[in-house]
């Protein structure tokens, strides 16, 4: 499968725990995006990378959130000290520069 | 920063009726992208328009890019229940691909 893959697909965690999600983009895509989506809303931009460089991070994102793309290929999104409000679908997408984005199936996070 | 607005936010139609969603910007866009998200699914890229006045068709879907490259529309002819979902427009002007709330289409059989 040459599409965007995300792991895990589902994650249930207790409040206060740390979680990490992984995204493997389409191999020739140099841009990688992270979004968060809750029911009835559009995808909310979190951050994006051009190769290994993190070009922008949403100001709405608290410092509990961090993302990396160390070798310009896969990326990880970590949430520290999770809160119930972090429960959402976390979507990853990749694209060529200024091209359309192709999304993974997402990681659904539930914080209990 | 640049913002692309989409209307309407919701549309309910009877199966077989036509449907149109509009995307408007106050600034000139380098391109426009359209996505569809089915309930419970992830956004799926449909098409990208680049040229002024461009019209592209995908079966019952017709996409237009305005002459001034400030607006775009997606028209669905004779809707079917499989068209249900949220349609998003997006511009590649800025690198970060901001999504709005889109237009959610409900089709009554």
Q: What is the pLDDT of residues A49-99, one digit of tens each?
A: 999 999 989 887 788 999 999 988 999 999 999 999 999 999 999 999 878
Extended strands (E) in A38-87: 44-50, 53-57, 65-68, 75-79
Count of H helices and E strands in chain A? 0, 11
Q: What is the pLDDT of residue A5?
A: 97
Percent of chain A scoring above 70 in pLDDT: 99
Q: What is the pLDDT of residue B2?
A: 53
Q: Chain A contacts of B30, Cβ < 8 Å?
A: 98
Range with the lowest mean pLDDT among B2-16, B38-52, B61-75? Answer: B2-16
Q: What is the pLDDT of residue B1?
A: 47
Structure tokens at A31: 């841009």
Contact A29, A96 (CB under 8 A): yes
Q: What is the pLDDT of residues A18-36, one digit of tens each?
A: 999 999 999 999 999 999 9
Find the residue in B nearest to A42 (Cα). B101
Question: Residue A90 gets which letter from DSSP?
Answer: E
Cβ contact, residue pair A102, B45, below 8 Å = yes
For residues B35-53, average pLDDT: 95
Question: CA–CA distance from B88 to each of A35, A74, B85, B99 (Å)?
Answer: 14, 26, 10, 7
């Amino acid at each position: 499968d040459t599409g965007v893959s995300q792991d895990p697909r589902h994650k249930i965690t207790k409040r206060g725990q740390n979680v990490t999600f992984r995204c493997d983009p389409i191999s020739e895509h140099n841009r990688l995006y992270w979004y968060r989506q809750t029911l009835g809303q559009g995808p909310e931009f979190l951050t994006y990378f051009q190769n290994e460089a993190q070009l922008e991070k949403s100001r709405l994102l608290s410092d509990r959130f961090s993302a990396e793309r160390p070798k310009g290929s896969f990326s990880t999104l970590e949430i520290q000290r999770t809160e119930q409000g972090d429960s959402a679908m976390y979507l990853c997408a990749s694209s060529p520069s200024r091209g359309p984005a192709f999304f993974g199936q997402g990681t659904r996070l539930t914080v209990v | 920063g640049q913002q692309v607005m989409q209307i309407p936010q919701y549309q309910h139609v009877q199966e077989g009726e036509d449907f149109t969603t509009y995307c408007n910007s106050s600034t000139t866009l380098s391109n426009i992208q359209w996505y569809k998200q089915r309930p419970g699914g992830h956004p799926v890229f449909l098409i990208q328009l680049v040229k002024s006045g461009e019209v592209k068709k995908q079966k019952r879907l017709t996409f237009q890019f305005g002459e001034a490259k400030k607006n775009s529309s997606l028209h669905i002819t004779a809707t079917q229940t499989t068209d249900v979902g949220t349609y998003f427009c997006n511009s590649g002007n800025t690198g970060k691909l901001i999504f709005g709330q889109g237009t959610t289409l409900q089709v009554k059989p």
